[in-house]
Amino acid sequence: MTQTADDQIVQALADVPRGESLVGVFVSQAGSVATVDQAGRRLFVRSVTQSPVRSGDSVRLSLSNGELVMLGPTSTRAVTGRVVAAGNPASVEYPNGSGVMASLPVMNGLTLAANDIVYLDWSTGGLVVGRISVPIVPPTPPADPGSGGSETRTERFDAIDSGSYQGYWRTNDVWSSASNYGAWFYGSKIRDTIPDGARIDSASINLPLDKELGAFPFGRHGFDEKPSGPLEIVATSTLPKRSGEVAIPTSLIDHLKSNPGGVGFGIGGYNIWRGTQRDGASGRLTVTFTT
């Protein structure tokens, strides 16, 4: 007696060991029902694949809730290839160097030449849709969190205090003049946040400028909080500008990540920046580092 399609499916289900799957050859699909040849039998099974499948492709079948379903192709079809012979259709090797060939129609208006690298769309059975002029470089996979891979972070450090010294701490604003130097203080938050072994990738400071005239040597000092007496501004250099978000030498943060201190301006010119009492962002440091 000739088996019906339903009989074939029932038999196929009976033949599939629990927890295992079958491999068949895709024939065609109508709606959600796929026709698949498997071990000399033609089966009609439900398709759940989201990947394009062409006639003749090897596909995987599995039991799901007592139903035999087609999961999809056993291997993903390459979406890039090399034109072996131009024309429409074109002869394409996909992927380049694999030896797997197909004769594929070409998108209207696209002119190809031999050895062109092309992009392929398999959703309608196979179509050359474009020419790739720049090699596709796959993204670098993220590091395994448990493998000790590096991590890059950006942190902001608000100053807890600021001031200018001229024989005494006379104002919360930050001055750099012929008789004043000024500084910002951060407590221990920089070295509490940035590991000693971190690489400092970039650093900047927010400078709310009020007055600008003459030299303005910028560097670091060695105090977490404002001392009762003077401090010294060391490792000085000239910043690219006086106002706004300004890049500072990463070497300053490289020192402060492991040592007490903050940043400030030494003697020079006549420059004034609003202090923390007038501007909450005064002296804010933005640091990007890699651990």
pLDDT at 258: 95
pTM of this prediction exceeds 0.95: no
Number of domains in the chain: 3
Co-location of 90 and 210 in the same domain: no
Q: List the domain range (segments joined by +) for residue 61.
A: 5-15+22-73
Is the separation of the CB atoms in 73 and 96 below 8 Å? no
pLDDT at 4: 58
pLDDT at 96: 85
Co-location of 167 and 266 in the same domain: yes
Residue 147 lies in a domain: no
Co-location of 41 and 124 in the same domain: no
AA identity, residue 81: G
Helix, strand, coil fractions of the chain, as percent rounded to 5: 10, 45, 50
How many Å apart are CA 41 and CA 24, to the nearest integer? 9
pLDDT at 261: 96
Expressed in angstroms, the distance from the first to the final Cα of the chain is 73
CB proximity list for 225: less than 8 A, separation 6 or greater:
160, 161, 185, 187
Task: Kindly give the parts of the chain with pLDDT less than 70.
Answer: 1-20, 64, 134-149
Co-location of 174 and 258 in the same domain: yes
Alpha-carbon torsion angle 37, 41, 43, 48, nearest 10: -40
